[in-house]
Amino acid sequence: MTTHGTAEGTVRTAGRPRSAKAERAIIEAALDLMGEGMTVSELTIEAIATRAGVGKTTIYRRWSNKEDLVVDALATLKAPIPPLPGTSVRDDLVVYLRTVQREAADPRNRCVMNIAMSESDRHPRLAARVREVTIEPRRAVLRGVLSRGMATGELRPDLHLEIAMASVVGTMMWYTKWLTEQDAALDDIAETVTDELLVGLRAA
């Protein structure tokens, strides 16, 4: 590989520089296609290239295979959880669930769970990487909130962390997907879900 010195004394690799605009177009194309209902098996590099308006070689220059591209694309959907107030378990859960609610309302974000749950048998390596990159960091944040609550006495000391975590996220995702007119009338679903769940999670 040939390198060239620059005026500033740094070294850069010879060849065509990567285009951030092209990469963004490729990722957006992949997300759009999956958001429209295309499964990972149906998704092709050719379809992504056509939607992005680039050549297939442009994609392969950046990703060696479709699975790596899908993982990177889905990772862009999961922005870091906003800083949690840390004043109480309730306050932290409300902020956390508002983020879950906001993301679950986006059809493209649903691709993450669809792949992690529905396509794990067909694409086990991809599903595992999606969980590692997009889901596990969120689970770590939630686990930290609940663990601190158990340590401070806000939550039951015998709380089953994994079941509690599933209850928190699953309830919000259910409400987001199956929202009724009555639910939509609630001022803040995240607050309502948090308060209802805490009835069972709080220490006596």
154-202 per-position pLDDT tens digit:
999 999 999 999 999 989 888 877 766 555 555 688 999 999 999 999 9
Report the pLDDT value the prediction gives residue 183, as an integer from 0 to 100.
58
Report the pLDDT value the prediction gives residue 126, as an integer from 0 to 100.
82
Q: Which domains, and CATH codes, for the chain? A: 15-66 (1.10.10.60), 89-201 (1.10.357.10)
Length of the chain: 204
Report the pLDDT value the prediction gives residue 25, as an integer from 0 to 100.
96
Q: Which residues contact 17 (CB under 8 A, 6 or more apart)?
A: none
CA distance 29 to 54: 10
108-133 per-position pLDDT tens digit:
777 766 776 667 778 888 888 888 88
Report the pLDDT value the prediction gives residue 59, as an integer from 0 to 100.
96
Report the pLDDT value the prediction gives residue 95, as an integer from 0 to 100.
94
18-69 per-position pLDDT tens digit:
588 999 999 999 999 988 888 888 999 999 999 999 999 999 999 999 989 9
Report the pLDDT value the prediction gives residue 153, as an integer from 0 to 100.
96
Q: Report the amino acid identity of residue 9.
A: G
Structure tokens at 130: 């999606």
Report the pLDDT value the prediction gives residue 186, as an integer from 0 to 100.
58
Q: With contact defined as beta carbons under 8 Å apart, do 176 and 101 qualify? A: yes
Q: Is the pLDDT of residue 101 over 50?
A: yes
Q: With contact defined as beta carbons under 8 Å apart, do 141 and 96 qualify? A: yes
